[in-house]
Amino acid sequence: MALCVHRIVPSAGPEGQAASLLPGVRPIIRVMPAPEQSSDRPDVYTHGHHASVVGQHARRTAERDAAFLLPRLRPGMRLLDVGCGPGSITIGLARAVAPGETVGTDVVPEVVEEARARAAAEGVTNLRFAAESIYGLSYPDASFDVAYAHQVLQHLARPVDALREMARVLRPGGLVAVRDADYATMVAWPKSDAIDRWLEVYHAVATRNWADADAGRRLPSWVRAAGFADIEVTGTVQIMTDPASTSNWGESWADRTLESSFGAQAMEYGIATRAEMEAVAAGWRAWAADPEAFFMYTQVEVIGLRRG
C-alpha cells in the first residue's frame, strides 16, 4: 500500500451534498450535523467484527499507522493501546518501549484472544491484553506514560469522556496519541456511482450510531476538551494506486458492505435496501478490477500532553 506522509493543517471546509447516483435509488443528502457527545447512548460499532473487518485491521502496523508517535517512544515506557483490535499495531508499539510493559485493550473478548495469539506467535513478551471498556479502564491513576487509540474515537458516542479516562491513567507529562480517518476526504478514481453511494450510506449509518465518520477533523478539539496541553496535529494522506492495494481495498469493502455490521445496520435502519447494498458491493468489485483504480483519504493524528 503506497503512502505519502506529510504535515498538514486540517480544514473543516464545507461538505458537498451528494445525491444518490444509482438508478432507482432514493437519495440521502448528507446535511446531517456532526453528532455531539452523548452521555446516554451506548456505542454501536459501525464496522462490527466480521472476518472481513478484523482481517483488514490485522494488516495495520505501528511502523505505518503509528509513525507519528514512534519518535516519542523510549525503552522502558509503559504504554496503553485502547481499542487495540487484533493487536498488529500493539505489537510494534511494545517493541518500541521494551522492556517497558505494553497493555492492549478491546471490548470484544474474541478479538483480544486473537491479539494474544498473534503476540505469542511473534515472541513479544512485554505485552498483555485485556477485554474492557475505554470508559472504565481497570488501571490506577497515573499508571502509564503513553495512551494510544487508533481509529477508535470515530466510533464512540462519548469521545471526550474516553479521552478523559485515558488522561486519568496517564502520569503527569504523559502523552495521549490518537489517529482517525476523515471519511469526507475519501476520493476514488475512476468515478464510481456505487462508491459515492457507499460513502452516503456510511455517513448515514455512522450518524445513526451517534458516531462521526469525519472524526479526523474533530480530534484536536476533542483532545483539548479532555484537558490535554501542547497539542501537536499532523496528518497522513493515504494513497492506494498499485493493483495489490486497490484490489485489497475494493474487495474488502465489497465484503463488508454485504457481510459486516455496517451492511446489516444500513438495512436495519432503513437507509438502504439489500438490492442497493448488492449494487454497491458490485461497484466496489468493478472498481477494484480497474487497472486505473486510485483511492486516497486523510488520516488526522494528534498528540497531547497530560497536565501535571
Residue 63 lies in a domain: yes
Least confident among 4-13, 87-96, 142-151, 268-277: 4-13
pLDDT of residue 60: 80
pLDDT confidence band for 19 (50 / 70 / 90): very low
What is the Cα–Cα distance from 86 to 56, expressed in whole angstroms? 10
> Where does residue 220 fall: left (phi above 0), alpha (psi -120 to 50 degrees), or beta otherwise?
alpha
pLDDT of residue 308: 79
Predicted confidence (pLDDT) per residue in 177-200, tens digit: 999 999 999 999 999 999 999 999
Residue 37 lies in a domain: no
Residue 101 lies in a domain: yes
C-alpha cell read off for 191: 468515478
pLDDT of residue 160: 97
CA angle 173, 95, 129 (to 5 degrees): 80
Residue 17 lies in a domain: no
Percentage of residues in the chain with pLDDT exceeding 70? 82
pLDDT over 60 at 5, yes or no: no
pLDDT over 50 at 23, yes or no: no
Predicted confidence (pLDDT) per residue in 25-56, tens digit: 444 434 344 556 555 667 776 665 546 555 65
pLDDT over 50 at 6, yes or no: no
pLDDT over 80 at 173, yes or no: yes
Count of domains observed in the chain: 1
Closest CA relative to residue 73, chosen from 83, 63, 82 = 63
* Whole-number average pLDDT of the chain: 86
Percentage of residues in the chain with pLDDT exceeding 90? 77
What is the Cα–Cα distance from 171 to 307, expressed in whole angstroms? 9
Averaged pLDDT for residues 251-263 = 91
pLDDT of residue 2: 39
pLDDT of residue 172: 97
Residue 204 lies in a domain: yes
pLDDT of residue 32: 46
Residue 28 lies in a domain: no
> Is 110 exposed, middle or buried, given 0-12, 13-18 or 19+ CB atoms closer than 10 A?
exposed
Residue 25 lies in a domain: no
Predicted confidence (pLDDT) per residue in 232-243, tens digit: 999 999 999 999
pLDDT of residue 30: 43
Contact (CB, 8 A) for 211 and 37: no
Predicted confidence (pLDDT) per residue in 278-303, tens digit: 999 999 999 999 999 999 999 999 99
Q: Find the DSSP H helices in 8-108.
A: 51-57, 62-65, 88-97
Closest CA relative to residue 252, chosen from 2, 59, 23, 84 = 59
Domain with 249, as residue range(s), is 3-8+44-305
Highest mean pLDDT among 7-16, 140-149, 248-257: 140-149
Residue 32 lies in a domain: no
pLDDT of residue 54: 55
pLDDT over 60 at 166, yes or no: yes
CATH of the domain at 165: 3.40.50.150
